């Protein structure tokens, strides 16, 4: 499934409301999010339902059966949905039914089931135009959306939250944290027990990702191992947070509204095992009098007040307030991870003094610089800060600096993310720094096993691709042998203007197929069939893959030395995999061009020898599937995916081994460095990673990194061209209106 396309289609559907509804964006934002909540809840409900029903004896009466199903959802990462709230019931309402009233009642029923959602779910659906709302429900009931599993709907949910932030439906997008940054924070602080606090929780994305971490990595239930506490200034956002937690089966009872600048959270200072947040950056105007007492009263400002505005007396920048709050809420072994404006790690005056006191505690663990374009609402770099009050003594005198500004994947000209592998590779740096090389070895082993699995699949996939090419070749050969120019010209040979037919070796008049064209096609077809270059190249590759798999079978993947030895074989194989991808694509292109010649130049469809249906199937096998139409992968997709993915995972290991050849932490220019507190003091207590890690040598940039940057340039150029065309059209329309 093309997630980006799915998100875009859903947003376009919701955006129809802007054009066709009497409601404003601010009025329809929450109702649309409510529909996503219902759809998401229904998907998760149905994902668990078969497992729960399978445990209920068939002889149980229907009346008791529903009660047992409800009981079965306890402890699941989903909620029980009564019949009246299920999305398929809403989607199947007859034409003319008051869909708005049915949805409002569904919200009432869910709130009756879940006390924590009281007042959180949106209402007012009858205010929508009935036909428009019914159409919106149908869009959310499309097969591809109903079939979405795993995190797909979570991503869609977050995407809509973000898009509404961009359209002004929420307050500046403060509640939305890019999923890439949330996941990075969770992966590094590893919140798997005790009290987890987010004092600027927004839509609770940090807690949802924590739930995924506990379930997927620790293989436990989040509600059994952690207690979430969240505070958010906006009442709208606290409702979103409760909706987001409940739909994932997480406890939302400790989400509250409050301004963390001034409001304590249940005396949690010094009590939290984990703190994570994405607070609003660079806030000015915080009332100094309301916070200054906290420096002594409750320990929330252990390092003192930040600087104040000389004219207003208010705190000039609240970044240092947030930093101290996060530190103060931790218990003696607690960890914190949060997003902060890049300027905060270098700010001067009192902010610098606060940073000095903080650094001297020895509890600053990791600083990670993040590049532009991770935030949808604004293109600015940021820094991830990590504290660890339980740091081992041997790490107390240093801080791990990671400059990840050159690590990203381009989604669009305005959006970057971390891929799963980029997440894991950056996390591996932290593992090595913390003295956990076994995790590094396990990650490399996982990559190498993925390569082995892809190589194992290659023979079958290459054979299927060979068969698809052979099928098209046979069909075209049959056409070439059995057809003639009379048939191709509509059954009548063209007549010269003044008499008899043209000789066979002369061209037909304009618009007719000539004998020479047909013979040229036959010759090119014969040459293509006899060209064994692609087949030989693929046969050689499969032999090399067989040797590589034998090396895997004999390798010790549980040791760094064994992985290094195996990687030498893989590194030698990688360029051959990439070359094979080009060979396969060139072969497809060649045969599809021959088909194009037959159809367009020779007008093959007029010949009885042209088997249109079979040729259409053969062509489809050699074309990329259309993600917009949710088509299944083609034969072409499957073989190219195996070749490219195998090369990709080989590259992941190469990235790690080239930077950490001994399987232990070491400073890598341009990427990471363990910086001593003395070095930080010598740099005026700056915590900016780029100041310490230096610059990577230009030679270190490999083909894949270059290709990623080239893709970014191409994507940005494409989007700029599209915007230029739109702008030109708008200007032309404006001129027409002026002249009309």
Q: Please give the Cα distance from 145 to 138 (Å, whole number).
A: 11
Residue pair 104/126 in contact (Cβ under 8 Å)? The answer is: yes
DSSP H or E stretch at residue 226: strand 226-232
DSSP result, 264-294 = --TT-TTTEEEEEE-PPSS---B-HHHHHTH
Provide the pairing of β-strand 364-370 with 272-277.
Answer: unpaired
pLDDT the model gives residue 658: 96
CATH number (3.30.70.2740, 3.40.109.10, 3.30.2420.10, 3.40.50.150) of 173-435 reads 3.40.50.150
Which ranges of 334-436 would DSSP assign to H, the alpha helix? 349-360, 420-433
Which residues is 665 bridged to in the sheet?
none
CA torsion, ordered 320, 324, 325, 330, to nearest 10 deg: 150
Triad 464, 552, 651: Cα angle to 5°: 75
pLDDT averaged over 10-residue windows placed end to end, the chain, 740 residues:
63 70 74 87 91 91 89 90 94 91 96 93 90 86 73 64 55 62 96 97 91 93 95 88 91 94 86 96 90 70 90 92 96 97 94 97 98 80 97 96 95 86 98 98 98 97 96 95 88 43 47 89 94 93 97 97 97 96 95 95 91 93 78 91 97 97 97 98 97 79 56 58 66 66
DSSP H or E stretch at residue 216: helix 205-216
| DSSP-based three-state secondary structure for 335 | strand
pLDDT the model gives residue 584: 95
Q: 706: which 2 tokens?
A: 């270059």
pLDDT the model gives residue 170: 43
pLDDT in tens, 525-580: 999 999 999 999 999 999 999 999 999 999 999 999 999 999 999 999 999 999 99
Q: 426: which 2 tokens?
A: 């950056």
Residues shown for the chain: 740
pLDDT in tens, 298-329: 688 999 999 998 888 999 999 999 999 999 99
pLDDT in tens, 445-463: 999 999 999 999 999 999 9
DSSP result, 498-557 = TSSBPPTTSPPSTTS--HHHHHHHHHHHHHHHH--HHHHHHHHHHHHHHHHHHHHHHS-T
Q: Please give the Cα distance from 581 to 534 (Å, whole number).
A: 11
Residue pair 145/39 in contact (Cβ under 8 Å)? The answer is: yes
Q: How far is CA 686 from CA 381, 657, 680, in A?
A: 16, 30, 6
pLDDT the model gives residue 111: 95
Q: How far is CA 259 from CA 118, 229, 341, in A?
A: 21, 14, 20
Residue pair 274/331 in contact (Cβ under 8 Å)? The answer is: no
CA torsion, ordered 43, 45, 46, 47, to nearest 10 deg: 80
Q: Please give the Cα distance from 688 to 686 (Å, whole number).
A: 6
pLDDT in tens, 206-228: 999 999 999 999 999 999 999 99
Identify how many contiguous H helices and E strands the chain contains and give both numbers. 27, 11
| DSSP-based three-state secondary structure for 369 | strand
Contacts of 637 (CB under 8 A, 6+ apart): 624, 625
Q: Please give the Cα distance from 189 to 184 (Å, whole number).
A: 9
Domain 3-158, second-level architecture:
Up-down Bundle (1.20)
* Residue ranges per structural domain of the chain: 3-158, 173-435, 445-494+512-664
Contacts of 577 (CB under 8 A, 6+ apart): 541, 643, 644, 646, 647, 650
Q: Which of 634, 617, 533 is nearest to 580 (CA)?
A: 533
List of long-range contacts for 220-226, beta carbons under 8 Å, 24+ apart: 220/192, 221/75, 221/77, 222/77, 222/250, 223/75, 223/249, 223/250, 223/251, 224/75, 225/192, 225/193, 226/191, 226/192, 226/193, 226/194, 226/195, 226/196, 226/273, 226/274
Strands of the sheet containing 364-370, edge to edge, are: 255-257, 226-232, 194-198, 272-277, 330-341, 382-388, 364-370, 398-403, 672-676
Q: Please give the Cα distance from 656 to 654 (Å, whole number).
A: 5
């Amino acid at each position: 499934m093309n997630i980006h396309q799915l998100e875009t289609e859903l947003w376009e559907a919701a955006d129809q409301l802007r054009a066709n509804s009497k409601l404003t964006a601010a009025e329809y934002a929450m109702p649309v999010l409510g529909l996503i909540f219902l759809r998401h809840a229904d998907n998760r409900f149905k994902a668990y339902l078969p497992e729960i029903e399978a445990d209920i004896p068939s002889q149980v009466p229907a009346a008791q059966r529903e009660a047992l199903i409800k009981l079965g959802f306890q402890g699941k990462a989903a909620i029980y949905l009564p019949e009246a709230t299920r999305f398929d019931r809403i989607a199947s309402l007859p034409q003319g039914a008051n869909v708005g009233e049915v949805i409002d009642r569904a919200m009432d029923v869910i709130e009756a089931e879940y006390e924590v959602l009281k007042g959180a779910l949106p209402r007012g659906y009858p205010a929508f135009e009935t036909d428009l709302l019914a159409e919106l429900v149908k869009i959310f009931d499309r097969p591809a959306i109903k079939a979405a599993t795993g995190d797909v709907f979570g991503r869609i949910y977050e995407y809509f939250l973000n898009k509404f932030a961009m359209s002004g439906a929420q307050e500046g997008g403060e509640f939305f944290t890019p999923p890439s940054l949330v996941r990075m924070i969770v992966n590094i602080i590893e919140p798997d027990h005790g009290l987890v606090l987010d004092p600027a929780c927004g839509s609770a994305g940090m807690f949802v990702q924590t739930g995924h971490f506990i379930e997927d990595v620790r293989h436990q239930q989040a509600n059994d191992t952690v207690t979430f506490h969240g505070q958010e200034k906006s009442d709208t956002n606290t409702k979103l947070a409760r909706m987001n937690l409940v739909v994932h089966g997480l406890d939302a009872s400790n989400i509250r509204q409050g301004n963390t600048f001034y409001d304590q959270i249940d005396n949690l200072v010094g009590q939290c095992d984990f703190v994570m947040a994405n607070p609003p950056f660079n806030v000015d105007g915080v009332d100094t009098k309301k916070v200054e007492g906290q420096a002594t009263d409750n320990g929330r400002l252990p390092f003192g007040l930040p600087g104040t505005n000389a004219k207003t007396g208010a705190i000039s920048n609240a970044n240092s307030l947030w930093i101290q709050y996060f530190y103060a809420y931790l218990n003696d072994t607690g960890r914190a991870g949060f997003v902060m404006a890049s300027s905060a790690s270098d700010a001067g005056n009192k902010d610098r003094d606060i940073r000095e006191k903080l650094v001297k505690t020895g509890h600053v663990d990791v600083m990670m610089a993040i590049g532009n374009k991770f935030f949808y609402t604004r293109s600015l770099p940021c820094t991830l800060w990590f504290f660890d009050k339980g740091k081992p003594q041997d790490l107390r005198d240093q801080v791990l600096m990671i400059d990840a500004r050159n690590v990203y994947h381009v989604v669009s000209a305005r959006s970057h993310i971390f891929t799963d592998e980029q997440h894991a590779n950056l996390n591996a740096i932290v593992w090595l720094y913390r003295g956990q090389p076994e995790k590094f070895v396990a990650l490399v082993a996982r990559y190498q096993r993925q390569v082995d699995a892809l190589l194992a699949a290659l023979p079958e996939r290459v054979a299927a691709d060979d068969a698809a090419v052979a099928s098209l070749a046979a069909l075209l050969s049959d056409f070439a042998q059995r057809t003639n120019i009379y048939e191709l010209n509509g059954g009548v040979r063209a007549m010269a203007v003044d008499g008899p037919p043209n000789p066979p070796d002369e061209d037909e008049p304009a618009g007719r197929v000539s004998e020479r064209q047909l013979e040229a096609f036959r010759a090119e077809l014969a040459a293509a069939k006899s060209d064994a270059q692609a087949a030989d190249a693929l046969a050689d590759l499969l032999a090399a893959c067989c040797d590589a798999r034998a090396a895997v079978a004999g390798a010790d993947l549980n040791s760094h030395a064994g992985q290094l030895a195996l990687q030498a074989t893989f590194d030698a194989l990688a360029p051959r995999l990439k070359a094979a991808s080009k060979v396969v694509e060139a072969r497809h292109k060649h045969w599809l061009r021959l088909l194009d010649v037959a159809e367009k130049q020779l007008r093959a469809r007029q010949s009885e020898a042209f088997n249109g249906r079979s040729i259409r199937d053969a062509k489809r096998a050699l074309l990329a599937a259309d993600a917009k139409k949710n088509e299944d992968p083609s034969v072409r997709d499957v073989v190219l995916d195996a070749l490219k993915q195998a090369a990709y995972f080989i590259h992941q290991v190469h990235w790690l081994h080239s930077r950490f050849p001994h399987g232990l932490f070491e400073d890598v220019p341009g990427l990471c460095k363990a910086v001593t507190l003395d070095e930080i003091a010598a740099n005026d207590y700056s915590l900016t990673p780029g100041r310490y890690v230096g610059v990577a040598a230009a030679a270190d940039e490999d083909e894949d990194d270059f290709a990623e940057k080239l893709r970014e340039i191409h994507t940005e150029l494409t989007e700029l061209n599209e915007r230029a065309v739109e702008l030109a059209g708008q200007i032309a329309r404006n001129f027409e209106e002026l002249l009309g």
